[in-house]
Structure 1
Amino acid sequence: MRVGIIGIGNMGLAMALNLRERGVDVTVRDLRDGPERIARTAGATVAASPAELAAAVDVVITVVGTGAETREVLLGADGVATADGAGRVVIICSTIAPDDVIACAGHLARASWQTLDAPISGGPARARAGSMSMMLGGDPALIASLAPLLAMLGEPRFVIGPHPGDGAKAKLVNNLLAAVNLAAAGEAFALAERLGLDAKTVLDVVCASSGQSWIAADRIPRALAGDFAPRAHARILTKDIGLALDCARGVGQPATLGVAAQAVFARTCALGWAEEDDAAVLKACRQPDTT
């Protein structure tokens, strides 16, 4: 199976390197030379455009940042849909609005492409190891046919529903909760510091007690160490909160804590840390809010 990956940032590049290590024929496309050079060194082929990549592979995986970027690489003038998709598949791994997934799947179907909605979670280290979580929305027969590839990419894998868009909805529910937990952790550890406590000792307490959350246990240790190198940019989770809140408004579901978390992340970005790791919410919580 020949696999193409469009968007080789933190997650996409890790996925490409994982597949190459397992002997998969991989073609990549990105707007930046650096990640493409790394992928080429690992044995991947670099395509000049999404259309060129699509013509050379059996499965296209998109891991770009936004719905607009996903539409462009799939449906644009030089996009995947310009190639005949008969017998071939697009896997959308980006966290984007369910409506964007549904729209892309519809357009791709007109060019004979099948679409699997498969947002991912877990960070670059898990993507590199093939152990990231995957939330799958698509035809059960399609999912079954892709089982060997999906097994190389992620574990656990959750079949959310039979339609593209189902996976995106589940991912946004997850990311809303992750954002609320991380914003709360930033606030709690800023308070611990202001109270004169040793934050690392408090972290040990929290991780062994009822305040524990996966995202706090993952992010707060490096934040306390002053390590804000981006594994997941603050702007990305900020975007995801907005998408989740849009979904909530669309079905009339209150999301009071989500709105509060959105404000914390928006402030983190406004203070200049949008391109840092989302653990930078701790820095924002340390700053007095003068608004």
Structure 2
Amino acid sequence: MKCGIIGLGDMGSGLAKNLIKSGFETYGLDLDPNRLGAFIDMGGIAARDIGNIGAECDAVFVMVMNGDQARSVMLGKDGLVSHMTAGSAIILTATIKPHEARAIGADMAESGIHLIDTPVSGGFPGAQGGTLTMMAAAPDAVLDLYAPVMAAVSANIHRVGDRPGDGQTVKACLQSLIGAQFSATFEAAALAAKAGVSGQVLLDVFSSSSAGCGVVNNALEKIIDRQFTGTGSSIHTMHKDLTISMGLGEELGVPLHTAAAAMQIFHAGRTKYPDGDNWVCTRVIEEIVGAELHRNKAK
């Protein structure tokens, strides 16, 4: 199979890296010439445009930021659906609203092109390491056919449904939990800083307790080392994901109290530090209390 990737940012570049590593001829497209240059350097083929990717590839990953971009890339004028052959597949790895994925699937239904709705989790490390978790929704026969392509970028492929939107629904549930975990970590870090506890002590205790997990441990590591930018986890992405979670809760009439609190913390962080990563939310709380958490000591 020939593969394509639209969107070569922090996540898409990781998909590309691991597809090429697994031996797939891989085409890529991105608006940023620096990203495209890095993709070429790793062995990828720069596509002329979306139509070129569609015409050349059997499977195309779409890793864009939102539902409008996904729809444009897939169904817009000269979009993928206009150029891909029957039996090929679009693998939607972007996180968008469930109803947007359902609408895209409905509009693709007569095209003969498969849609695999599979948002991912694992962030920048997972994308670069090929260890992403996929929440894949498509008929089993389609997932069986494209399993080798998906396995090249993922360590865990969960079959969560057979319809477009099923994958996005599971991702919205997951992000409501992760957002709450992040926010609780940010608050605990600020509490420890104000109390004069060192970051290393807090990390040692948290990581060896029942509260320790990948989300909490990674966030706390970034906080105590003051790594608030350049970690591959832009605050805009999590803010967008929480917006999707909250929207799904409103649509279904489900109260999401802790996710709502997390949403406000991320909103504050994005407003004050729009170029920061997720962990920069801690700085907003630290500024309120007048203390910072560092690895060796609080300041």
Q: Which moved more, 1:72-81 or 1:237-246?
A: 72-81
Aligned-partner Cα distance in 1 for 2:13–2:108? 24
User: Which amino acid in 2 is paired with 1:77?
Assistant: K
Measured against aligned partners, the alpha-carbon deviations of 1:154-212 in whole angstroms (never above 9, x if no partner) come to 11111101111111111111111111110110001011000111122111101111332
Deviation at 1:145, TM superposition (A): 0.8
Alignment of 1:123-138 (within 5 A): 123-138=123-138
The amino acid across from 1:99 in the alignment is H
The reply to whether residue 262 of structure 1 matches residue 263 of structure 2 is: yes
> Aligned letter for 1:78?
D
Instruction: Please name the residue that 1:187 is paired with.
Output: 187
TM-score (norm 1): 0.95
Q: In structure 2, what is the equivalent of residue 168 of structure 1? A: 168
- Contact 1:133 1:157 (C-alpha < 8 Å) held by counterparts: yes
Q: Are 2:177 and 1:177 aligned?
A: yes
Q: Give yes or no for contact 1:2–1:59 (8 Å, CA) kept in 2.
A: yes
Q: SS in structure 2 opposite 1:136?
A: strand
Counterpart of 2:48 in structure 1 is 48
Out of 81-90 and 133-142, give the one that drifted further. 81-90
Q: Out of 25-34 and 81-90, give the one that drifted further.
A: 81-90
Distance 1:3 1:81 in 2: 15
Q: TM-score, normalised by structure 2?
A: 0.93
Deviations 1:128-172 (A, max 9, x none): 222111111111110011111121111111110111111111111
Letter in 2 for 1:252: G
The residue aligned with 2:235 is 234
SS in 1 for 2:64: coil
Conserved? CA contact 1:49–1:79, under 8 Å: no
**Which amino acid in 2 is paired with 1:140?**
D
CA displacement at 1:222 relative to structure 2: 1.7
Aligned ranges for residues 205-220 of structure 1 at < 5 Å? 205-220=205-220
State the Cα RMSD in Å.
1.3
Tell me the SS of whatever aligns to 2:14.
helix
C-alpha distance in 1, partners of 2:243/2:15?
26
1:156 aligns to 2:156 (yes or no): yes
Structure 2 residues without counterparts, runs of 5 or longer: 290-299
Q: Distance in 1 between matches of 2:188 and 2:246?
A: 23
- Per-residue CA distance 1:48-102 (angstroms, 9 max, x = gap): 2212211110001101111111111111223112214312100000111111111
Structure 1 stretches (4+) deviating beyond 3 angstroms?
none
Partner residue, 1:248: 249
Question: Does the Cα contact within 8 Å between 1:49 and 1:78 map onto a contact in 2?
Answer: no
C-alpha deviation, 1:213, in angstroms: 3.3
- Share of identical aligned residues, percent? 26
* 2:106 partner amino acid: G
Matched residues, number: 288
Q: Is the 8 A contact 1:67 1:96 kept in 2?
A: yes
